Amino acid sequence: MRHIKLTIAYDGAGYSGWQIQPNATTIQELIQKAVREMTGEKINVVGSGRTDAGVHALGQVASFRTEKTIPLEGFRKGINNLLPKDIRILNAEEVEDGFHPIRNSKRKNYRYIITSDEFAHPLEVGRVWAIGRELDIDAMNKACEYLVGEHDFSSFRAADAHESDAIRKIFIVNFKRENKCYIFDISGSGFLKNMVRNIVGTLYDVGIGKISPDKFKDILEAKDRKKAGVCAPASGLYLISVEY
């Protein structure tokens, strides 16, 4: 039995997220359908984690097991031929049978892009959060420092989150300015449902001066979703890579 690991990029705008669900077109479903069509096997494609509807990926990871001897490049090109153009398999490689895309992931890297423009540029529609104002990047970066390390992120998990515990470790997190954009990068051991978007929404409150960096720390420590800010729109979020 071969075990194939895929690295996948997608524009999430047209899809109901990664995870297979009834009555909605999802990325996992389209890839699984393509692999099943190529192999004739009833294969399950398992991803490194869900991305929400509208969230993009530059390096999502998924894997599947097959008995077929199709070469790796054959898989990559063949699956791509069966997918819409806004989902692409960038790489296919063979991994040991024990590999698990979720359990073996050591680090995930996300990016969130906010533009200070009042609207997304036509070529960035669905790919940024347009806020129409400036943010205090120093205050936001001060708040970011409180996120580094191991914490209980209950304050930033989705109301309907299903994860068994909310402890996650953040390695690197910061905002940088590029032209009209505030670019938020966060790397961590893993992320709860909506965690990045809830953090960004609350850091936005810091950036507009609604709350102080210290108040942000209080929110984190409260372990209470009701204390945090809004969930930032999916459109600005990118899963950059998953490291193993």
- What's the longest Cα–Cα distance across the chain? 59
Active-site option among 11, 52, 136, 160:
52
Q: Which of 16, 44, 80, 189 binds a second copy (CB under 8 A)?
A: 80
| 88 φ, ψ (degrees, to nearest 5) | -135, 135
Q: Using the rule CB under 8 A, give the single segment among 6-14, 32-40, 93-101, 219-227 that binds a second copy.
A: 6-14
> Which x/- pattern, by CB under 8 A, does the window 182-221 give for a second copy?
----------------------------------------
Residue 199, both tokens = 């953090």
Closest to a second copy by CB, 93 or 214 = 93
Unique residue bearing structure tokens 């690197």: 172
Closest to a second copy by CB, 56 or 157 = 56
Rule CB under 8 A: which of 116-155 touch a second copy? 119-123, 125, 127
Q: Say how far apart CA 214 and CA 193 lie, in whole Å.
A: 24
CB of 29 to a second copy, least distance (A): 16
> Which x/- pattern, by CB under 8 A, does the window 88-107 give for a second copy?
x-------------------
The answer to whether residue 214 is catalytic is: no
Residue 206: its H or E element: helix 195-207
Q: Which of 9, 70, 208, 240 binds a second copy (CB under 8 A)?
A: 9
- Assess contact for 115 and 130: CB atoms under 8 A: yes
- Least Cα distance to 242 among 52, 107, 110 occurs for 107
User: Which residues, at least 6 apart from 226, have a Cβ–Cβ distance to it below 8 Å?
Assistant: none
If DSSP codes are grouped into helix, strand and coil, which group holds residue 217?
Answer: helix
Enzyme catalytic residues = 52
Residues lying near a second copy in the complex (CB under 8 A)? 9-11, 56, 58, 80, 85-88, 119-123, 125, 127
